[in-house]
Amino acid sequence: MFTLTKSRNNMLCIEIENPTNKVRDFIRNAVMENRIEHPAYIASRNSTPFLQADYPDYLLVEFWGRNPQPFMDYLNKTFK
């Protein structure tokens, strides 16, 4: 469901137009997770996801780290 693209800042990212509340909450929770034993936190270590934009009609998560794939795998495996 979630795919990598490039942002206007030339960063790997997830861009979602018109996200549902369920999608928005899931992404926010995964990006902001700070319990070191949680799978979202573990998956985000090398990707450093950053919630760059969170508007009712647009959501942007940029990856400031080297390897976003583990975090993308976590999102796609976990989101239902």
Tell me the DSSP string of the chain: ----EE-TTS-EEEEEES--HHHHHHHHHHHH---TTSHHHHHHTTT-EEEEEEETTEEEEEE-SS--HHHHHHHHHH--
pLDDT at 64 over 90: yes
Question: Quick count: other Cβ atoms within 10 Å of Cβ 55?
Answer: 10
Stretch 54-70: mean pLDDT: 96
Domain boundaries, position 43: 5-78
- Nearest CA-CA partner of 27 in 12, 10, 44: 44
End-to-end Cα, the chain, rounded Å: 10
What's the mean pLDDT in 54-71? Answer: 96
Structural domain count of the chain: 1
What pTM value is reported for the model?
A: 0.92
